[in-house]
Amino acid sequence: MSSAKWTNAPGARLTADRKSLEYACYGPPPGEAPTIVMLHEGLGCVTLWRDMPQKLADATGFGVCVYSRAGYGASDPADMPRPLDYMTREAEDSLGVVLDAIGFQHGILLGHSDGATIATIYAGSISDQRVRGLILIAPHFFTEASGLAAIRTAGEAYASGDLKARLAKYHSDPDIAFKGWHDAWTDPGFEAWNVADAIDHLRIPVLAIQGRDDAYGTLAQVTEIEERIYSPIETAILDDCGHAPQIDQPQATMAAITEFCERLERLEREEVKIA
């Protein structure tokens, strides 16, 4: 049952897993069109999606909902320290509540980085027939030495550079936003983290978008999807592109997403002929 208005008015809030979360909606509400729910990266939030949600709504005709997970943006602080399985907990404890709150009826989960992992875990472990497809931007399912090195470098920039000041523009508590992500990934116990088995249980179409120059994850993450998935998979591997394809290659990223949504919607509308 819906408990949150379909609105992009400043200050809109919904509650999930005992936390008050900021959110914003664009385009038609559920019931009038499919819905894309966007899940941000490990240092992201509603504001850091910039104008992408509105552009997606305009380009696809779908409704689009974005929200900041606990600890990010203007949402309630997260409980610290974050557990090493925080992405699994987000998928199992919070995401479904958010979908119910906005009145989600059918559509797509679009995740970036941590958000892509959370979307995959949800679709692979929760029986929710409302989710008809996944769009995974720079997903990760296991740790890589190069990615962990990049996160440690980010930690140095946060401690002695201007990263904290830049994050403070977008997060009510930049320490919680940054340390909740950084400290989990750099914990020695996290090196063995692997949630790729969630891919085995996907039964919906997937679009994976990856930059060739992504410092936080290599093409091995996309190869893992291709080798394990039993449902249709499309990939967009982008040159001259790092960890944020929507910023580094916005036109190619938007084109891939729009085409995927159009194909998925055509399949949804096709009549099933019974012999």
Is the whole model's pTM more than 0.85, yes or no?
Answer: yes
Residue spans of the domains in the chain: they are 13-265
Q: What is the pLDDT of residue 229?
A: 98
Q: What is the pLDDT of residue 63?
A: 98
DSSP 151: H
Amino acid letter at 72? Y
Q: What is the pLDDT of residue 2?
A: 56
On average, the pLDDT of the chain sits at 96
| Low-confidence residues in the chain, pLDDT < 70 | 1-2, 271-275
In the three-class reduction of DSSP (H, G, I as helix; E, B as strand; rest coil), residue 124 is classed as: helix
Specify whether domain 13-265 bears CATH 3.40.50.2300. no
Q: What is the pLDDT of residue 1?
A: 46
Q: Which residues have C-beta within 8 Å of that of residue 39, sequence separation ≥ 6?
A: 69, 95, 109, 110, 111, 112, 114, 115, 116, 118, 119
Q: Which residues have C-beta within 8 Å of that of residue 140, sequence separation ≥ 6?
A: 113, 114, 116, 117, 147, 216, 217, 221
Q: What is the pLDDT of residue 274?
A: 52
